[in-house]
């Protein structure tokens, strides 16, 4: 029996799916029935094993998304290998930390290029196929810093605010053409990127004290939300940046 969350027959592209949130999303999409291509700089051997265990097709595309150079090839390979593209999850991203008064132009450009410029042009390339078929789902990975300012991450904050803005403008342009564009803003999730924070007892306690749910998020919390936004259950949701943060922003 099919459900509104069934992705059988859909073709998905996920960026940055080697570990953590991206990996969990790729595996969850496959578990819901989608064939999955992933794009990133390293071979995602573990992700391949987990996706193929669901019985779905898996394609790995080696691509350095710090520039727009590989964008057309990534989409073309996805379409050629999977037979089309119905879902795009823009997860790949980087962060650079320094006081704003000392923040370098190189660090600014590196983050903006990966987190915002490549995200936009990859979405543009994928959407040409989605618009032609009259159907598609784009899920951008935003951040709590799409809503808040943060500290010592000026380019990351600017980029993630930009992701939320791009999500809205593309929804405005494409919603009536059958393409949904939405974003997820993860809270504090147990991944390699937060290992140092979780190991710092004082910092971890301060974070947990702010989260009404009383726990760190699991990558599967984000993955389930991505499946929802990629599924027919979300057909009337457009232009939303959805916090999945255990209530952090509500506190």
What are the catalytic residues?
156
User: 17 with 43: CB under 8 angstroms?
Assistant: no
Report d(CA 183, CA 141) in Å as an integer: 6
The encoded tokens of residue 85 equal: 């593209």
Three-state secondary-structure class, residue 243: strand
What is d(CA 154, CA 242) in angstroms, rounded to the nearest whole number?
22
Sequence-separated (6 or more) residues with CB below 8 Å from residue 3: none
C-alpha 95/C-alpha 111 separation (Å) is 6
The Cα–Cα gap between 85 and 130 comes to 7
Conformational region of residue 55, where left means phi above 0, alpha means psi within -120 to 50, and beta covers everything else: left
Strands 179-186 and 241-244: parallel
Instruction: List helix spans (H) across the chain.
Output: 20-31, 45-52, 71-82, 105-112, 118-133, 154-174, 195-199, 201-210, 219-230
């Amino acid at each position: 029996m099919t459900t509104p969350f069934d992705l059988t027959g859909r073709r998905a592209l996920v960026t940055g799916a080697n570990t953590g949130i991206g990996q969990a999303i790729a595996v969850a999409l496959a578990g819901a029935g989608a064939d999955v291509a992933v794009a990133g700089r390293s071979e995602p051997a573990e992700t391949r094993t987990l996706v193929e265990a669901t019985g779905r097709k898996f394609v790995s595309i080696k691509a350095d998304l710090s520039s727009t150079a590989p964008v057309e090839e990534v989409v073309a390979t996805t379409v050629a290998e999977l037979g089309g593209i119905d879902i795009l999850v823009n997860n790949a991203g980087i962060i650079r930390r320094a006081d704003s008064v000392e923040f370098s132009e190189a660090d600014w450009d590196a983050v903006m290029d990966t987190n915002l410029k490549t995200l936009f042009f990859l979405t543009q390339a994928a959407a040409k196929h989605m618009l032609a078929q009259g159907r598609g789902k784009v899920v951008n990975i935003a951040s709590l810093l799409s809503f808040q300012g943060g500290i010592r991450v000026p380019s990351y904050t600017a980029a993630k605010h930009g992701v939320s803005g791009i999500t809205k403008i593309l929804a405005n342009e494409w919603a009536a053409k059958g393409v949904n564009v939405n974003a997820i803003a993860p809270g504090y999730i147990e991944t390699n990127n937060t290992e140092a924070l979780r190991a710092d007892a004082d910092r971890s306690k301060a974070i947990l004290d702010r989260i009404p749910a009383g726990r760190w998020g699991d990558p599967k919390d984000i993955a389930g939300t991505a499946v929802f936004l990629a599924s027919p259950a979300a057909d009337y949701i457009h232009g939303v940046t959805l916090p999945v943060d255990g209530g952090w922003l509500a506190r």
